[in-house]
Amino acid sequence: MRPEALAALHSAAFAPARGWSAAEFDSFLADPACLLVARPEGFALARVTLDEAELLTIATDPARRRQGVARGLLGALFGGLAGRGAETLFLEVAEDNAAARALYAGAGFAMAGRRRGYYPRRDGAAVDALILRRALG
């Protein structure tokens, strides 16, 4: 997928929040530490540092949600990251994002930490970020 397509899909998936721009995706794609798993209906982007990886973002076309797209992307990502020497995958998820938390729990992620008040909301409140981890071995 080209950066423009990634940006359009990311914006659709995360609306009304601001999606990442084509320039931001172009920067990630130029980084050899980053791994993109992409399909027309979604993508997952991660970065490897030594034996750890971080899921930077995962996005699914809103019309294709709850059809196993994200689960399939994660499965492909796990294999690609392990092939690059990553032993553990970390991510952050908003505590109030029940759908994403269910996806990650089903994929074997466990709580590793919390960042209090990390995600600002339009009403001025802030939601904690949960730091999750999963072994890739």
Q: What is the mean pLDDT of residues 100-108?
A: 96
Q: What is the pTM of this model?
A: 0.93
* pLDDT at site 89: 98
Q: Assess whether 119 carries a catalytic annotation.
A: no
- Of 24, 41, 52, 92, the active-site residue reads 92
- pLDDT per residue as tens digits for the range 47-88: 999 999 999 999 999 999 989 999 999 999 999 999 999 999
CA-to-CA distance for 133 and 18, rounded, in angstroms?
26
B/e letters for 87-111, b = 16+ CB within 10 Å, e = fewer, are: eebbbbbbeeeeebbebbeebebee
pLDDT band at 15 (very low <50, low <70, confident <90, very high): confident
Q: Assess whether 92 carries a catalytic annotation.
A: yes
**Domains identified in the chain and CATH numbers:** 3-135 (3.40.630.30)
* pLDDT at site 2: 95
Q: What is the mean pLDDT of the chain?
A: 95
Backbone torsions φ then ψ of 104, nearest 5 degrees: -70, -40
